[in-house]
Structure 1
Amino acid sequence: MKLQVFQDSKGNPTGGYIPIKEWEELKKQFNDLEALEYKEPSKEQILLEIKEAVIEQGKLKARAAKELLDEL
């Protein structure tokens, strides 16, 4: 395996890199690894989460998430 380890300025390991071909092989061997992959949220999901957060806070009255983002 061609694992690369990233280190901070003090030499402490902070992360790693596995080539995609090797990652795909590991996923075939270990089914649970698929759940660890980051999946980019859709624009709709992001807007929904922002809307829910604004309503949950109760600081602003509910309005379309698009309006909120337009103000930013």
Structure 2
Amino acid sequence: MELILKNVKKKDYPVLKSLAKSLGFEIEEKIDKPYNPEFVKEILEAAKEVRDGKGIKMTMEELDALWK
């Protein structure tokens, strides 16, 4: 049987971990990373390029034409 605990507070985690260990349960920690590191790197580089003036400006009509 599997038991999944979500949104455990940091202060409660050691207590739960100790209890599980004393009862002989297997503990599997899974820390979700919300974003792919490569994706984050690309976004940060693009933002830097815009700040450095390497971006282009487009009108709403030009943007609308891209979708068609």
Does the TM-score normalized on the shorter chain lie above 0.5?
no
The structure richer in strand per residue is: 1
The structure richer in helix per residue is: 1
